[in-house]
Structure 1
Amino acid sequence: MKSFLWLIVGVAIGFAVAHKVNETPQGKQFFSSLDKKARDFGEAVGDGYRQREAELRSAIDGD
């Protein structure tokens, strides 16, 4: 239970620090760049999943 409490405290502090950093121009640029990279990664994972699913479906239908 003690570890969970520290986790919650750490997350809360992290959010507070991120909010303060986001108020600066450099912070906004950093988080904008981070958001773009995360979205690109998510799209790449989704594309790979759909491609692999199509491959598996065609292999199943071909049998």
Structure 2
Amino acid sequence: MRSLFWFAVGIAGGFVAAHLVNKDPRGQEIFAQLDARIGEFTDRMTDAYHAQETRLSDIIDDAKAVTSSAADRVAGAVGDAMDAAGDAASAAKKTLTTSD
């Protein structure tokens, strides 16, 4: 409970100090520079986030294309195997019926 009290006192003291510094023109200049740097930092972070998002989206799109291509190949192979099995069954049936 004591640490919570000191935490609240620290926050209140920070606000009071910021208010007093902001009254001075030099303090306003410092806050303006700080605000500009924070804005620049957030802009860079936003750009980096969007670049990473685009990169991951491209990777996911490539993975979807590869998966789709592989699925099409598997479906084609299964179809060919079924056709071959059907042909073999027909040939076996013909062989059984002609040998009787």
Q: Report the TM-score range of the alignment, normalised by the length of the smaller protein.
A: over 0.9
1:21 to partner: Cα distance: 0.5
- CA offset digits 1:9-51 (Å, max 9, x no partner): 1010011011001100100000000000001101110110010
Structure 1: distance between partners of 2:58 and 2:12: 47
Aligned to 1:62: 62
Q: Which has the higher contact order (CA 8 A, sep 6+)?
A: 1
| Equivalenced residues, count | 63
Q: CA RMSD in A?
A: 0.6
Structure 2: distance between partners of 1:56 and 1:29: 41
Identity of aligned residues (%): 38
1:13 aligns with 2:13: yes
Q: Which structure's CA Rg is the greater one?
A: 2
Structure 1: distance between partners of 2:54 and 2:4: 41
Structure 1 moving runs of 4+ over 2 Å: none
TM-score where L is the length of structure 1: 0.95
Aligned to 1:35: 35
Structure 1: which 5+ runs fail to align? none
Structure 1: distance between partners of 2:17 and 2:2: 23
Structure 2: which 5+ runs fail to align? 64-100
